[in-house]
Structure 1
Amino acid sequence: MPEPRASNATADLFTPLTVRLPDGRRLGLTRYGDPAHQAVVFHHGFGSSSLELPPSGALLRRLKLQLLAPDRPGVGQSDVFRRLTFPSFANDVTAALDALGIAGPVGVMGWSVGGVHALAQAACYPERVAAVQLLSTCLPLGERAAYQHLSRTWKFLRWGQIGFPWLNRTTFLWLSRLWARHPDHTIGWFIRLMRQAEQDVTGQPGFRELLRDAAVQGFAHHGRGVFDDAQAWCRPPGFMMEDVQAPTVLWHGTDDGVWAPDNIPYLASRLARARIKLLPQQGHMLYLENWEAILTEMRRLLDGQNTDVMHLEGQQASY
């Protein structure tokens, strides 16, 4: 059963929960909105946590949605699970929905690496997922077919993660200490490393603090969860993207400095009911500035207003 750790003073605040999984592990998640409303699962980005969602209480009430954002193993209140895979976390999320009495179907969203986890949930549990939204999403680094489409930088990073795991483990441990001891300095350092499109969003008051606090929780447990997430990302994914049957919208910015938009048509071509929303002059953090539009689109998808099969037709972007 879920164990409430806090309660909402207003609907604009969030409610942290913990759920005991069938194997006894604890899964932490954050609920945004009214538990009586239809559920949407949000998968957070790499090195972040369920606290990365912008305030949207009034919007959620209007759309009659609740957001359930689980923390992956080793993040926030979630116990470490060394054998993390994309399917294993899809199992965890589904068990949490069962514990919360949510039989489905639900919407699923994911930002950045969270997009791959969203795909895994939709592929492994197609009967429980009604709609998918991928926000500045990535490809699974360990899938042979997708690997051919990776940039040299991402191929190099995967090689380093697989070939020198001890070095990455040490790096994530060091970063966890920085986030715990000097969060303001560390978020400023990360912002300076970003490209201009990301800096313009991340440096805004409110967003800066939001992402700072999310990263502090993301690097809990001495960065163990971030390392295990990276390992899972670099190994064979354990699911087929072609098994995703729900209508899927891919939101991506033309100026994304983390994951260039070149791969997005390829990703969409492997999904049965995919449509691309390519946003000019926006970067990897586009979900923060387009949150109302993203949630409104999810409401439409869940209402069945956008369920036609859509395959890249009429794409006006040039690469």
Structure 2
Amino acid sequence: MTSISTPDGRLVAFSLYGAPDGVPVVFHTGSPSTRWRRPDVVRATAECGVRLLTFDRPGYGESTRLVGRSIADVVADVRLLADAQGWDRFAVAGGSGGGPHALACAALMPERVIRCAVIGGIAPPLVDGPEPGEDEEDPRRNRTSWLAAHGGDEALRPGVEETAQQIMALIEAGGPEIPPGPGEAVGPPALEDPEAMARVRATFVDSHDGWIDDNLAFAQDWGFELGAIEVPVSLWFGSASERDRQQAAHLAAAIPAAESIEYAGGHIQNNAEYRRMLGWLSG
């Protein structure tokens, strides 16, 4: 693990994967997730000629929490990380909850970001009005974002902790590290792989602060305008996820430079689609 110090005294932990002389890409992990990548992802990254930098957002893994952070606050950390690597120009990508953070970099660092890929990302949620129900047609209206906007940390934490306990119970019962997508084979039990268990414990056991702070940030003003993004953007979504399809449509309508790319599968890209995405980022 490597870390850098920020001007306000925080630590930001990061990891580097892939070809040392490869195309530089800063990847924003999902919510929740840490900087650690699975072996298949590491292998694909190297074979695609990419140098991938992943990092723990504040409150995740080894990175110091930043209470009250916004989506746009990630840009200062990315600038420091890129400077430390000597990267003047680089691509960015973000999966799921990492998508808004990647878009923030595209919007606020156009002089440095060459391309931006978002996989299963989210659009700004709708948090006005009454508490959403379970049958909302628009995924931007969801209970988690509504609770974040109206009740803050105290309202979110019990649900986050319950979800984390449910996920860990499935894994401890012999489940895989990553649930399979439609038509995909079930992976080996995470319990049989100490490194896989380290990854899931870092995400779902050690701390829930980063997860909660992500959701609080999603429900606030993001700190930039989607319509101001001029960097080429690709919005990737799985054919089996109607939620992701709708979110991508909302983002595409708001971002002039965006193109939508559908792939066969669910919320998480399979290996082939991950490689295709890295190819797009490499330009």
- Pairwise same-fold verdict (TM > 0.5): yes
Q: Is the 8 A contact 2:29 2:98 kept in 1?
A: yes
Q: Aligned equivalents of 2:159 and 2:18: distance in 1?
A: 36
Q: 1:50 to 1:199 in 2, by over 3 A?
A: farther
Separation in structure 1 between the aligned mates of residue 262 and residue 213 of structure 2, nearest angstrom: 31
**Cα distance 1:106–1:142, how it changes in 2: closer, same or farther (>3 A)?**
farther
- In 2 relative to 1, CA 211–263 (structure 1 residues): closer, same or farther, beyond 3 Å? farther
Aligned twin of 1:251: 236
* Structure 2 residue 68 is matched with structure 1 residue 83: yes
Give the match's secondary structure for 2:60.
coil
The change in CA–CA distance for 1:43 and 1:25 in structure 2 (over 3 A counts) is same
SS state at 1:45 partner: coil
Match of 2:101 among 104, 108, 117: 117
Structure 1 letter corresponding to 2:187:
Q
Classify 1:278/1:150 alpha carbon distance in 2 versus 1 (closer, same or farther; 3 Å).
same
In structure 1, what is the Cα distance between the partners aligned to 2:162 and 2:261? 37
Tell me the amino acid that sits aligned with residue 272 of structure 1.
P
Change (3 A) 1:111 1:287: farther
Identical positions, percent: 24
Deviation at 1:221, TM superposition (A): 5.2
- Between 1:163-172 and 1:235-244, the stretch displaced more is 163-172
Report the counterpart of residue 163 of structure 1 in structure 2: 150
Cα distance in structure 2, aligned partners of 1:98 and 1:245:
22
Residue 51 of structure 2 corresponds to 66
**Partner of 2:73: helix, strand, or coil?**
helix
Number of paired residues?
273
Is the contact made by 2:226 and 2:255 (CA closer than 8 Å) also made in structure 1? yes
Q: How far apart in 2 are the matches of 1:160 and 1:228? A: 13
Q: Which runs of 5 or more structure 1 residues have no equivalent in the other structure?
A: 1-15, 302-319
Relative to structure 1, the CA distance from residue 70 to residue 167 in structure 2 (aligned partners, 3 Å threshold; closer, same or farther) is same
- Mind listing any 5+ residue stretches in structure 2 that lack a counterpart? 129-135
Q: Aligned partners of 2:166, 2:139: CA distance in 1, in Å? A: 29
**Equivalent position amino acid for 1:141 in 2:** P
Change over 3 Å in CA distance of 1:206–1:52 after alignment to 2 = farther
Contact persistence 1:142–1:233 (CA under 8 A): no
Q: Please, which moves more after superposition, 125-134 or 45-54?
A: 45-54
Aligned counterparts of 2:211 and 2:44: Cα–Cα separation in 1: 31
Shift of 1:59: 4.5
Match status 1:272 vs 2:256: yes
Once the two structures are superposed, residues 94-113 of structure 1 have per-residue CA deviations (whole angstroms, 9 ceiling, x without a partner) of 1121123222x101010011
Q: How far has the Cα of 1:60 moved from its partner?
A: 3.9
> 2:2 touches 2:15 (CA, 8 Å); kept in 1?
yes
Matched residue SS, 2:124: coil
Give the TM-score, by structure 2 length. Answer: 0.82
> For 1:20-59, what per-residue CA distance to the aligned partner results, in whole angstroms no more than 9, with x for missing partners?
1122210011110233333101000011112245535555
Question: Which one of the candidate residues 78, 102, 114 is aligned to 1:130?
Answer: 114
- Contact 1:187 1:212 (8 Å CA) reproduced: no
Task: Please give the root-mean-square deviation of Cα atoms over the aligned residues, in Å.
Answer: 3.3
- TM-superposed CA distance for 1:207, in Å, is 8.8
Cα distance in 1, alignment partners of residues 126 and 7 from structure 2: 28
- For residues 46 and 17 of structure 1, the distance between their equivalents in structure 2, rounded to whole angstroms, comes to 21
2:225 is equivalent to residue 240 of structure 1? yes
TM-score by length of 1: 0.73
Q: Is the 8 A contact 1:18 1:26 kept in 2?
A: yes
Match of 2:214 among 206, 226, 229: 229
